[in-house]
Amino acid sequence: SQKIEQNSEALNIQEGKTATLTCNYTNYSPAYLQWYRQDPGRGPVFLLLIRENEKEKRKERLKVTFDTTLKQSLFHITASQPADSATYLCALSTGNQFYFGTGTSLTVIP
C-alpha cells in the first residue's frame, strides 16, 4: 500500500501570504492525486484533482503541482485569508484504492 507524508507540524502564516503544503508519497506513483479541506467536526471537502501526466493545476487562489520524479505534490494557497484556516488532506488513488494523508493544519493569522 501507499505511505503518504504531509507536514506533520501545523503551519501558521500571516494573512495575505502564500501557504505551501507538502505531500510526499512512497511506492508507486498514483494515477490521480487530490486535495481536500477538512474543518473540525465535518467531512472533507474536495478541492482539486491532478492527474499523473499533469504538472500543475489551478483553481482561483489554489494551485497544485505534481512531481512524479520527486514523488511529491505541493499545494499553494495564494493571498491567504483567515477563512482558509483548516486541515488540508492529500489523497492518492490508483484503480479502486484510495489513500489519504493525516493532513496539515493551517492557521492564517489576521
Partner 1 sequence: DAGITQSPRHKVTETGTPVTLRCHQTENHRYMYWYRQDPGHGLRLIHYSYGVKDTDKGEVSDGYSVSRSKTEDFLLTLESATSSQTSVYFCASADSDRPYEQYFGPGTRLTVT
Q: Which residues bind partner 1 (CB under 8 A)?
A: 1, 4, 32, 34, 36, 41-46, 49, 89, 91, 93, 96-103
Q: Which is nearer to partner 1, 80 or 86 (CB)?
A: 86
C-alpha cell at position 93 = 488513488
The C-alpha atoms of residue 110 and residue 98 are separated, in whole angstroms, by 35
Q: Are 30 and 90 in contact, with CB atoms under 8 Å apart?
A: no
Nearer to partner 1, 30 or 80 (CB): 30
Please give the DSSP secondary-structure letter assigned to residue 80. -
Instruction: Quote the least distance from Cβ 69 to partner 1, whole Å.
Output: 22
- In the complex, what is the shortest distance from the CB of residue 91 to partner 1, in angstroms, rounded to a whole number? 8
> Which of 20, 100 has the CB closer to partner 1?
100
